[in-house]
Structure 1
């Protein structure tokens, strides 16, 4: 299958090494693209919850695919997040086309893109790490339970249901946390005159223009590969939010037909 050429792809919150990671779906997506730059925006490998007994072949194949990109000319930036914070001691390391960073500033057709994971804005991560780790473990098992429930729903012809999205939407503190996160990120981006601010961390994919009295910026969140299965793509001066749909998945030599299942949100 012919691969799509993309100038920039941003992925975050893959959480390899956990039950909730949709590594197989991510591998299928990666197998259909040829990015010039690949940004891994934090929480790619979940070191917090890493288990020697659980690292399936599908998770390893994603890592192999990323290494393959770098070996074939793709510039790969790995930006550290909270779940892979142990890598921060090696920040600014560079090996060929692979670089490890805590944050990144890219020039995209004359516009500045400020890219970072986002956990720096999360008080629970900064001040109560054990609570955040416990919550991450509970979230992992919630996703695992949700998969089983959705498997049962599909068997009886019902639409899949997301426990975590329902909880986020119904808990006022969660809604406020997401809103505060976006406002903090965009206020700082506008203050520093960045055209784009690109985050992950909160598992809420989004592209939205944000304004305040000092100016405006485009806020982008790449979402995750646990519940939303999303990525950001930049090509020909446009941002697109990619959604992988399992319902429309068509197997063909372990790939899928892009024209059948792509759902895009496009911004100039």
Structure 2
């Protein structure tokens, strides 16, 4: 991996959930994300979007969900400028199948991935289905990622398919409730438990996830930190790496 110069930063953000709960509120968030991306275009060496860009996304053979043109246009502008953007799928937009790669020149990752810059090792992923517990979702995730199940969903008319997906998205948010508004404690934060298990196998300086919707910078040991990026629904938080250290920030538009 190339080194990061003192004038550059790598930026990380996640969980926009564009489309929810309605068009009007989603549009306000979309404009905030676009404004943020525009503000970092001169300093960004790379940008990582770590899942759940959309509250629902399914790429049919010739169709993608309508809307989000401001964000998609800004991403295209940035990659055309030569800025590398990397995208991870989340549990709400896991059905990405080539549109971002072909139209926006953005690689899309479906599993956590290891990166290294300036001698620092990063483990990056959305975070869904990792760690102990949540067995019901882990079972559903296997179904959702099954190629046959995806094909069966794809033969539904988009009006039916998107309507069904939006229903399950609402149910998912209702199940989460208020748990994304406070720290649950070291033993109850499943991603902290997962990070500790990962560090028993190999060293990482920073383990970075989204999904949790609550910004967290947690010291796992003397040399490793777990960072959760929060969201762009309530917190409007992101992280940056300056070549030496990681920091969490809140976007003030």
Question: Given the two structures, how large is their TM-score scaled by the length of structure 1?
Answer: 0.65
CA 1:36/1:138 → structure 2, altered by over 3 Å: closer, same or farther?
A: same
Shift of 1:62: 1.6
Cα-Cα RMSD: 3.7
Displacement, 1:216? Answer: 4.8
Deviation at 1:67, TM superposition (A): 1.4
Aligned pairs for 1:76-225 within 5 A: 76-87=85-96, 97-102=105-110, 103-121=112-130, 122-128=134-140, 136-138=169-171, 165=178, 168=180, 179-211=189-221, 216-225=223-232
For 1:109 and 1:194, how far apart are their aligned partners in 2?
13
The answer for unaligned runs of 5 or more in structure 1 is 143-162, 250-268
CA deviation profile, 1:109-156 (whole Å, cap 9, x unmatched) = 1111010111132534212469x98663146689xxxxxxxxxxxxxx
Aligned residues: 210
2:243 equivalent to 1:243: no
CA 1:28–1:93: 2 relative to 1, 3 Å: closer
Select which of 9, 12, 21 maps to 2:11: 9
Residues 138-191 of structure 1: per-residue CA shift (max 9 Å, x gap): 46689xxxxxxxxxxxxxxxxxxxx955x5568x9x668851222212321442
Following superposition, the deviation at residue 221 of structure 1 comes to 1.0
Task: Rate the CA distance shift 1:178–1:205 in 2: closer, same or farther, 3 A.
Answer: farther
Extract unaligned runs of 5+ from structure 2. Answer: 1-6, 145-164
* Structure with bigger RCO (C-alpha 8 Å, 6+ apart): 2
Which structure shows the higher strand fraction?
1
| CA distance in structure 2 between the partners assigned to 1:133 and 1:219 by the alignment | 31
Give the equivalent residue in structure 1 for 2:20: 18
Q: Partners of 2:57 and 2:70 in 1: how far apart? A: 21
Shift of the alpha carbon at 1:63? 1.8
